[in-house]
A and B are shown apart, each in its own frame.
Chain A
């Protein structure tokens, strides 16, 4: 029967081409605007650590002095060297990593290639297993390498392609700043969007291409990038950061169960209390554990204007659909005679309703195709904008399907009122007035 409804819908839409085109255009316009902005929101607010984001947590501790204390205040986003090392030493989480980022100069072994600067991540060894980063050659450094500040590095496929022509470079040396680091692993390009692990570097865009132990970076005097927040007598001199009251490191942990999460939270409270007792912390314990998506929400990563644009576009879609409701109402009620005949010949109200909603769905499908074209055009325009996130504005398969789902569903909902009105016509009255 559905094939019959499709056939009738097709005939009906062809009957009045201009009205049909007007409805499709209205739906396409609304869907195009809506999907353009929703796609931007989708790519900006997607889970950058799929499958792991709900068990990987950002740790915040409140180590600031009392002078600016507010009872409902939030701790600073990063931790001090001392706290980071203390937490690492206790090792209470399933995995934990203390890290920061910076820019380093790389001198390729091939003398014909010029030295260049790249983003680097200085971290303790668990970073790869914590974030589920896949190795194509070799493996990660160990906690022992962290402790000994070993001169080792892990590079990305992209850097490996550039410097070593894509060959297995494990064991080869790479000159970073003024030191030779031994490549011990090559990872697949890891480019989470947004860069949840260090939002101070750049929220969207290319990730780091070189990874080395945090201690090694200190030994080599590699400067770190991002924010440094010093309080009390703290001084932000790069050389003294390890001993100063400055937060400049990100601390991430993996906690596989809710019970472990609760226990770790309790541990952090106790740690803060102990630090308070020792006189390092002045404030009462104020700790935070954010999983990845909560962390992005907390940091309001998706720009406010993008969200506003999305709401405006949804409003625009509603306006377009209201217009479509009016057009469909006119179209369906003009067919009261046909509805009356079909009812007289045995069609139930439900069958008439299904027939008319199939027609609405077909308008939605056509509107979805038009909307897709407009959304692709809209996203191209977004990519022309000078925003950090602009280059990410591409329609993925999920949003491709969502375009049609939204177009068909919204048009069917819009067609509900006109269809209900049309299928309630009294057949006797219609047949008398033919």
Chain B
């Protein structure tokens, strides 16, 4: 589903080159629930934004659903994001002026879907996250947990092949976080492929597989600790 080989992401200025990702390799199979962990600044979110085609990369290969994406133009990347990828952000990123229904509708609008089909999908997605009764509410009228559920419904409404979650419980209290996590597990059991970035080991433990990132590289935690893992990267 998602394969990155020797991927690199370099931020260049006139005087310095900073490697956000270096020789980054990962292979996520269809239907897997993978947690990507690592300290702050390790490159987890950079990986996720590249995986979600929100950012380009400097070197290496990235195949998404069998397609090499490095040569795609901005419009093609937008279409793939719209049709194949669902995003769940730490800060929910709901549009405050739109009510719940309209927020979930956003990706479907860009797909040129007919109104009746859009409505059906939106209500199905809201039913699934238990918020059908809140369709006319605005984000400010919902709790953090409910807002994240709306964000999940928005990600699910387009039936994406891949769900990318960036610290999905980072802004929630324990109880709400548990509820959101259970929802993600349920979605995974129904066959979705999920890649979740988190620095919370407890959440990571609930995924099928963990991938640890340090200094922009995937590391095998069963090996001897590397030199730089002892330095303070957190």
Instruction: List A residues at the B interface (Cβ < 8 Å).
Output: 1, 4, 11-12, 15, 337-338, 340-351, 426-428, 431-432, 434
Decide yes or no whether B81 CB sits under 8 A from chain A.
yes
Residue contact A431 to B55, C-beta cutoff 8 Å: no
Q: Are A434 and B91 in contact (CB under 8 A)?
A: yes
Contact of A348 among B75, B98, B112 (CB under 8 A): B75
Given A1-B109, A426-B55, does the pair A348, B91 have CB atoms closer than 8 Å? no
Given A341, A348, A349, A350, which contacts B106 in the complex, CB threshold below 8 Å? Answer: A341
Whole-angstrom distance between the Cβ of A15 and the nearest chain B Cβ: 6
Please name the residue on chain B nearest to A432 by beta carbon.
B45
A314 to chain B, nearest CB (A): 36
A-side binding surface: helix, strand, loop or mixed?
helix
Whether, in the assembled complex, B79 has its beta carbon less than 8 Å from a beta carbon of chain A, the answer is: yes
Alpha-carbon distance between A432 and B43 when the two chains are bound, in angstroms: 13
Within the complex, the shortest CB–CB distance from B126 to chain A, in Å, comes to: 16
Question: In the bound complex, how far is the Cα of B210 from the Cα of A130, in angstroms?
Answer: 93
CA distance A51 to B169 in the complex (A): 74
Contacts of A341 in B (CB 8 A): 93-95, 106
C-alpha spacing A434/B109, complex, angstroms? 23
Please name all residues of chain A whose beta carbon is closer than 8 Å to the beta carbon of B112 when the two chains form the complex: 1
A-side contacts of B78, CB under 8 Å: 343, 346-349, 351
User: Chain A residues near B74 (CB, 8 Å)?
Assistant: 348-349
* Contact of B54 with A by CB under 8 A: yes
The distance in angstroms between the C-alpha atoms of A351 and B82, with both chains bound, is: 13
9 tightest Cβ-Cβ pairs between the two chains A and B: A346-B82, A428-B49, A434-B91, A428-B54, A345-B107, A346-B110, A348-B78, A428-B55, A341-B93
Cβ-based interface call for B83 (8 A): yes
B19 CB–A CB distance under 8 Å: no
Residue with the greatest number of chain B CB neighbours at <10 A, chosen from A11, A344, A428: A344
- B-side interface size class: 20 to 34
Given contacts A15-B97, A350-B75, whether A345 and B82 have CB atoms under 8 Å apart is yes
Pair A342/B97 contact, Cβ less than 8 Å: no
CB pair A431–B97 under 8 Å, yes or no, is no
Nearest B residue to A15 via CB reads B97
Q: Contact check: which of B87, B91, B98, B109 meets A344 at CB < 8 Å?
A: B87
- Contact between A344 and B97, CB atoms less than 8 A apart: no
- Distance of A91 Cα from B146 Cα, bound (Å): 92
List the A residue with the shortest CB-CB distance to B98: A11
- Using Cβ atoms and an 8 Å threshold, which residues of chain A touch B97? 11-12, 15, 338
Report the minimal beta-carbon distance from B8 to chain A, rounded to whole angstroms. Answer: 16
How many angstroms from the CA of A349 to the CA of B79 in the assembled complex? 11
Residue of B nearest to A427 (CB): B54
Query: Judging by beta carbons under 8 Å apart, are A345 and B87 in contact?
Result: yes
B111 within 8 A of partner (CB): yes
Query: How far in angstroms is the closest Cβ of chain A from B80?
Result: 8
A338 touches B109 (CB 8 A): no
Measured in the bound complex, the distance between the Cα atoms of B48 and A428 in whole Å is: 10
